Amino acid sequence: DAGVTQSPTHLIKTRGQQVTLRCSPKSGHDTVSWYQQALGQGPQFIFQYYEEEERQRGNFPDRFSGHQFPNYSSELNVNALLLGDSALYLCASSQQGAETQYFGPGTRLLVL
Amino acid sequence: GENVEQHPSTLSVQEGDSAVIKCTYSDSASNYFPWYKQELGKRPQLIIDIRSNVGEKKDQRIAVTLNKTAKHFSLHITETQPEDSAVYFCAASRRREKLTFGTGTRLTIIP
């Protein structure tokens, strides 16, 4: 049974570029949440997707957008990258109706 | 919104001793409190969680206590081992909603 997977593992971009990160949830899970973890800090909630809709959103600008596909996988898109967007981006999946969230290995994004 | 404070930020204990990490939360509607362990370069891994209808939960050497009145919860690790060295995060959420994390505690076990 595969756990949560994310791709790519690492990414280097320059300021102003756009990036797309991908997440496949744990088998049987239908809800995907995205978090940003800056170095030395706890994960910060970006948004959550269920039934292909954004259900809840954290305090992040509109440059951060997402999508969920019918197979429950999800993408995180960040436009107009800033240096401050450099972080580990974590995807977590859960079952609708359950609180427990399981994290993927993350994508480490470096913006130069 | 929810705010979670975590203390201490760093903790060093002798192997075999106990470690305690404490968190407080602000939203009285929060009812789910997980603890995650994150080793360097790895994903956060759930180690134990507690729901608001329970005051204490134990799993082998790990236990969590919850005081709803005071809005604080704690992680207790007994008989610590070198492999317990990691960063530990507490979190809080309302049912099925976002997790709000604390700032983390770097635990070092001294052999």
Model pLDDT for residues B91-102, shown as the tens digit of each residue:
999 877 899 999
pLDDT in tens, A63-88: 999 999 999 999 999 999 999 999 99
Does residue A103 belong to the interface with chain B, where contact is any CB pair within 8 Å?
yes
Q: Do A99 and B101 touch (CB under 8 A)?
A: no
Interface of B with A in 9-48 (CB under 8 A): 32, 34, 36, 42-46
What is the dihedral sign for C-alpha A43, B38, A53, A7?
Answer: positive
Cβ-based neighbour number of residue B8 at 10 Å: 12
Predicted local confidence at residue A1, as pLDDT: 57
What is the dihedral sign for C-alpha B50, B53, B58, B59?
Answer: negative
Q: What is the average per-residue pLDDT within A29-45? A: 95
Nearest to A4 by CA among A26, A28, A22, A20: A26
Does residue B98 belong to the interface with chain A, where contact is any CB pair within 8 Å?
yes
Q: What is the average per-residue pLDDT within B76-94? A: 97
Q: What is the average per-residue pLDDT within A14-23? A: 98
How many angstroms separate the CA of residue A82 from the nearest CA in chain B?
23
Q: Do B99 and A97 touch (CB under 8 A)?
A: no
